[in-house]
Amino acid sequence: MTQINDVNNSLINPYSDEELIKNFPGFTNHYASVNGIKLHYVDGGIGMPLICLPGWPQTWYSYHPVAVELAKSYRVIIVDIRGMGSSEKPITGFDKKTMASDVLELIKQLNLSKVNIMGHDIGGMVAMSFAFNHPEFTQNLIVADGSHPSEGMMQMPLMPAAGTFSKKMDANMPYAWWMGFNQVKGLPEKILEGRFQYLIDWLFEYVMIDAEKMSSFDRAVYAWAYNNAESIRASNAWYQSFAQDIEDAKIYQQLNMPVLGLASYVSYNYMKMGLPYVAKNVEVIGILDSGHYMFEEKPREVLAAVLKFLGA
């Protein structure tokens, strides 16, 4: 916690968007007003647009292992989704359909007619919702360990199966206790405000094969971003909206555009079974020597799969 607290006494915050963007040559920070809220995004590269959406508990900075290389072939636009990072944190609108409409309004403001869209974790859920609701704007869809909420979530166990809950997540019997914890309103903010580093360190160790690939600086960036009550409340709202997301999904039609699923050892079996139900033209690639945060653990494998799929 020392590194984070020291920032309060510094003239320059090393975790600010203005400082972090210096690690992204050719990228610039931007803000847009969409659906009555402010969204932060970064933009770099030229070519066919590739919208990138991060997940929990990260920010736009999570794409740093792959963004600069992707920008050699595409215009890469990384968005802090509603409630994340420097984007606004309203009280409502955290269902994935509304969050997808945020992305649509941004795309329209940028005068883009069709985009590739890629999302990790919660960002993958928003990316899929975008494809379901706005297929005319979607050229290709990439989801990395983050499929759209479905009724299958209701079967997730409250208690871990005997012998399966250890320091690393069990691929056959995964126990994601935070799915339930993040449903609770009001309490997580009180427990985690000013202490988010503890959750981050535990989580990365649990869902990554090699947690050392998530650097101490990266961890400090995310702890800084989530260390206040408003950020915790807003990010938990992504989870508290799953019931509405599941209802919305019941009327969605099967996707026609090409879909790539990137799956870690934790999610491979589930994505391989689930994605073909919702997409006609789908490929699932398992990066089985990586945990959930595959951009950090296996950036080369992610880049190879994405660039091949997009035809770079």
pLDDT tens, residue by residue, 274-291: 999 999 999 999 999 999
d(CA 120, CA 143): 6
How many Cα neighbours within 13 Å face the side chain of 79?
A: 33
Q: Is the pLDDT of residue 1 over 80?
A: no
State residue 10's pLDDT score: 52
pLDDT tens, residue by residue, 217-233: 999 999 999 999 999 99
Cβ atoms within 10 Å, residue 64? 18
Cβ atoms within 10 Å, residue 288? 14
For 58, the token pair is: 């990260």
The arithmetic mean of pLDDT across residues 228-244, rounded, is 98
Q: Which residues of 178-215 are buried (b: 16+ CB within 10 A; e: fewer)?
A: beeebeeeeebbeebbeebbebbeebbebbbbebebbe
d(CA 221, CA 198): 13
Q: Is the pLDDT of residue 39 over 50?
A: yes
d(CA 67, CA 159): 38
The arithmetic mean of pLDDT across residues 95-113, rounded, is 98
State residue 9's pLDDT score: 47
State residue 11's pLDDT score: 83
Contacts of 312 (CB under 8 A, 6+ apart): 73, 74
Residue-range domains of the chain with CATH: 2-310 (3.40.50.1820)
pLDDT confidence of 67, banded at 50, 70, 90? very high
Q: Give the strands of the sheet with 37-44, arranged side by side.
A: 28-34, 37-44, 75-80, 49-53, 115-120, 138-144, 259-264, 282-287
169 φ/ψ angles, rounded to the nearest 5 degrees: -65, 135
On whether the CB atoms of residues 238 and 33 are closer than 8 A, the answer is no
Percent with pLDDT over 90 in the chain: 96
The answer to whether the pTM exceeds 0.85 is yes
Kindly give the pairing relationship between strand 37-44 and strand 259-264: unpaired
On whether the CB atoms of residues 263 and 271 are closer than 8 A, the answer is yes
Q: Is the pLDDT of residue 3 over 80?
A: no
pLDDT tens, residue by residue, 160-205: 999 999 999 999 999 999 999 999 999 999 999 999 999 999 999 9
